[in-house]
Amino acid sequence: MNCHNAGGDSPRIYAAGTIYATASGGTAVAGATVKIGNTTMVTDRGGTFYATSAVTLSPPTVSKCPNADQTMSTTPTNADCNGCHKSGSRIHLP
């Protein structure tokens, strides 16, 4: 999220990522809820979520009814979710 850091030309983004239908990517999932610490975000029609205020890092939870919540097993080291979740390990909901 280098282009969205303080002092950049774009608005500051503190957490962001994209939710897909499968771990390999494919169709984006709109309307999914993503919770990281005290911040709740909802994906847009492109599957993208983002926070414009600071987040407390904790294991994120992703959900979309009627699917059960899915929580990451570890606490991320940063909130650039797509930075780690690349091809083959995309954030996804079945």
Q: Name the CATH topology of 2-84.
A: Immunoglobulin-like (2.60.40)
Residue 47 has pLDDT above 70, yes or no: yes
Residue 34 has pLDDT above 90, yes or no: yes
Alpha carbons 10 and 14: distance in angstroms, whole number: 12
Alpha carbons 89 and 93: distance in angstroms, whole number: 12
**Predicted local distance difference test score (pLDDT) of residue 12:** 84
Residue 4 has pLDDT above 80, yes or no: no
**Predicted local distance difference test score (pLDDT) of residue 41:** 94
Residue 36 has pLDDT above 80, yes or no: yes
**Predicted local distance difference test score (pLDDT) of residue 6:** 61
Alpha carbons 11 and 18: distance in angstroms, whole number: 18
Domain ranges, ordered by start, for the chain: 2-84
Provide the token pair at 37. Answer: 């610490």
Under 8 Å between Cβ of 3 and 77: no
pTM of the model: 0.84
Mean pLDDT of 25-37: 93
